[in-house]
Amino acid sequence: MEGKILIIEDEKDMCESIKSWLDEKGFVCSFAYDGGEALSSIEKEKPDIIILDLMIPGIDGFEVCHRIKHDERFKEIPIIILTVLGETINRVAGFKAGADDYLTKPFDPDELILRIEANLKTRRVSLELKKELDELKEHERIKVEFLGNVGQELLVPIKTIADGISQLGNKNFLSKQKEELEKLSSSLISKLNTFIDVTKANSGKLWIRIDEFPISNVISIVSARIKPDAEKKKLSFDISYPSITMKTEESHLIKILQELLLNAVKFTEKGGIRLEVSEDKENDTVIFNIIDTGHGFGEDEREIFEKEIYVEEKMGLMLVKRLVGILRGNIRLEALPNETKITVILPRKIDAPARRKEDRI
C-alpha cells in the first residue's frame, strides 16, 4: 500500500525511525517538528494520513488535531495520535479533538503500520462512498429540475391551443389560426414524445431493436422532415452520403439526425445546413457531420453535451446525447469559421445497446 504520510514529531530520531519502517512499505514521508510548521505543511504536502505527537513545541497536538478536523479542506485526512500520554483522560481528549486512532509510545512498528493501512483503507472507502452519494444527489437534482421545467416548456403550446378552442365560434379566427393550431399541436405532441423518450432512457426502458438497413432509408426520412422547414426560412439544405448499410436501431438514428438538424434550422437565419455522411472503414464507423451557418453554440448547448445538466427547451438535445450513447457512439461540438458543426460517430454495426453509466441521465 502506498501513500503520503506527514509525521508531526519534535524528536528527529523518532522521525527517522518511523520513516525507515514506512519506507519499506512504500510510503512517502514528510516531517513537521512543531505545531505551526505542521499546519502549514498540511496545505503544502496534502498528505493521505497524519501521524501526530501531542507534546510538540508551539501549538500543541490537541489543538493541531482540532484545527485540521475543523478545516473543510483537510477534515477527511485520518490522524493517528502517537504519544507517551497513555492516560484515559488524554485518549478521550485526543478523540474529542478529532483523532481517528490513538497509539502510545513505546509501540510495535508492525502495529503502527497495520493501523496506518487500516485507516487509509477506511478513508478510501469513505471517499468512494461520498463520491457516489454526491453523484446520486446531483442526478436527483437534475431530475427534479428537468421535470419542473418540462411543465413550463409544454405550458405555452397548451395555453395557445386552449385559447384557440375558446375562439372556435369566430369564423375569421378559424380561417386565420387553423394552421397555427395545427402547428402548435404537432409541436406539443413532438415535445411529449421526446419527454417520454428521455424518461425511458433515464430509467433504462428505452427498448432497442437492431436491424440492418441501407443508410439511404434514413436519409430519405430525415430529408422529408427537415427540407420543408429549411425551405420556409429560405435556407439551403444539402446532403451527401455513401451507399452503405448499418446494423443498429434505425429509429434512434433517425431521431438523432432529426433533432440535430431541426436545431440547426431553428438557429440559422441565412445560408444553409449540410448533412455530410462518411464511412471510416478502418474503425468500421459511420460519421455524421451536421454543419450550419447559424450563430454558433450557446452555453446551454455546450453544457448539455459536456456536463450533466438539464436546460429548458433543450429536451431534444438531451435525448440526442442519450441515444448516441445507447448506440455506442460519441458526439462532439466544433466551431468553424462562419460555421458550426456537430459530429456524431457511430459503429456501423452493433450487436447490443450500450449500458454505460454515462449514458444515463
Q: In CATH, what number is assigned to the domain containing residue 19?
A: 3.40.50.2300
Residue 348 has pLDDT above 60, yes or no: yes
In whole angstroms, what is the distance from residue 315 CA to residue 218 CA?
Answer: 22
Model pLDDT, residue 134: 83
Model pLDDT, residue 346: 96
Residues 259, 316: contact at Cβ < 8 Å? yes
Choose between 136 and 296: higher pLDDT: 136
Specify whether 344 is located in the same domain as 226. yes
Domain range for 197 is 139-203
Specify whether 7 is located in the same domain as 75. yes
Nearest CA-CA partner of 38 in 52, 24, 26: 52
Q: Which residues pair with 280 in a beta bridge?
A: 285
Specify whether 71 is located in the same domain as 150. no
Choose between 358 and 166: higher pLDDT: 166
Q: Report the domain count for the chain.
A: 3
Residues 276, 234: contact at Cβ < 8 Å? no
Query: Three cell numbers at 213?
Result: 438497413
- The DSSP secondary-structure symbol of 98 reads T
Query: Three cell numbers at 96?
Result: 474529542
User: Is position 123 within any domain?
Assistant: no
Model pLDDT, residue 339: 86
User: Is position 169 within any domain?
Assistant: yes
Q: Is 260 exposed, middle or buried (0-12, 13-18, 19+ CB in 10 A)?
A: buried
Model pLDDT, residue 323: 87
CA 260 to chain CA centroid, Å, is 21
Measured CA angle at 197 (ends 195, 202), to 5 deg: 95
Amino acid identity for residue 252 in this structure: H
User: Is position 124 within any domain?
Assistant: no
User: Is position 115 within any domain?
Assistant: no
Specify whether 262 is located in the same domain as 341. yes
Specify whether 231 is located in the same domain as 337. yes
Q: Kindly list the distances between the CA atom of residue 241 and the CA atoms of 166, 219, 220, 225, 326, in Å, as whole numbers in the listed order.
A: 48, 8, 11, 17, 23
User: Is position 134 within any domain?
Assistant: no
Amino acid identity for residue 174 in this structure: L
Q: What is this structure's pTM?
A: 0.49
Specify whether 218 is located in the same domain as 179. no
Residue 202 has pLDDT above 90, yes or no: no
Chain-wide mean pLDDT for the chain?
82
pLDDT band of residue 190 (cuts 50, 70, 90) is low
User: Is position 331 within any domain?
Assistant: yes
Work out whether strand 339-347 and strand 211-214 pair parallel, antiparallel, or are unpaired.
Answer: unpaired
Work out whether strand 339-347 and strand 330-336 pair parallel, antiparallel, or are unpaired.
Answer: antiparallel
Mean pLDDT score, 345-360: 68
Specify whether 346 is located in the same domain as 246. yes
Q: Which residues pair with 51 in a beta bridge?
A: 7, 80
Choose between 154 and 357: higher pLDDT: 154
Specify whether 216 is located in the same domain as 196. no
Specify whether 197 is located in the same domain as 216. no
Query: Three cell numbers at 237?
Result: 439544405
Specify whether 338 is located in the same domain as 225. yes
Amino acid identity for residue 337 in this structure: P
Model pLDDT, residue 68: 95
Mean pLDDT score, 94-116: 94
Specify whether 227 is located in the same domain as 165. no
Percent of the chain at pLDDT > 70 equals 72
Specify whether 96 is located in the same domain as 11. yes
Model pLDDT, residue 107: 92
Check which CATH number belongs to the domain holding 282 and give it.
3.30.565.10
User: Is position 91 within any domain?
Assistant: yes
**Euclidean distance between the first and the last CA atom of the chain, given in angstroms as a whole number:** 36
User: Is position 39 within any domain?
Assistant: yes
Work out whether strand 49-52 and strand 3-8 pair parallel, antiparallel, or are unpaired.
Answer: parallel
Model pLDDT, residue 309: 38
